[in-house]
């Protein structure tokens, strides 16, 4: 089994979403919504209401050798049931 969740994405916009019960993670490109739901429920011991995914493009990087593209990556927005929280984002 491969690791589904790579890292949490903590930004100002995602902090506002976390107050509403939506948490954002960078996930493996091949992971499905069901895989992401199982992984979040297992690791954080919460109940997931829904998962939305976005395939983000890699930004172009200009170097002295030319232009190269960073690899694409996948982002998952995980919505939890009412009253559920992930303490990782709360700072506790």
Q: How many folded domains does the chain comprise?
A: 1
Is residue 91 in a domain?
no
Is residue 56 in a domain?
yes
Q: Give the pLDDT of residue 1.
A: 42
| Domain of residue 43, CATH code | 3.30.70.330
Angle (CA) 71-76-77 rounded to 5° is 145
Domain of residue 69 covers 5-83
Confidence of residue 8 (pLDDT cuts 50, 70, 90): very high
More confident residue, 2 or 55: 55
Is residue 34 in a domain?
yes
**What gap in Å lies between CA 49 and CA 84, rounded to an integer?**
10
Can you say how many angstroms the Cα of residue 24 is from the centroid of all Cα atoms in its chain?
Answer: 4
State the Cα torsion 16-17-18-19 to the nearest 10°. 60
Is residue 53 in a domain?
yes
Q: State the chain's mean pLDDT as an integer.
A: 91
Is residue 88 in a domain?
no
Give tens-digit pLDDT for 10-30: 999 999 999 999 999 999 999
**What gap in Å lies between CA 67 and CA 25, rounded to an integer?**
28
Q: Is the pTM of this model over 0.75?
A: yes
Residue 9 main-chain phi, psi, to 5 deg: -100, 110
């Amino acid at each position: 089994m491969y690791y589904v969740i790579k890292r949490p994405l903590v930004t100002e916009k995602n902090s506002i979403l976390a107050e509403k019960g939506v948490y954002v993670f960078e996930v493996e490109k091949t992971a499905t919504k069901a895989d992401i739901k199982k992984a979040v429920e297992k690791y954080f011991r919460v109940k997931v209401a829904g998962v939305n995914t976005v395939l983000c493009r890699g930004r172009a990087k200009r170097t002295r050798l030319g232009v190269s593209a960073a690899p694409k990556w996948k982002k998952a927005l995980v919505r939890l049931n009412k009253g559920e929280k992930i303490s990782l984002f709360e700072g506790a």
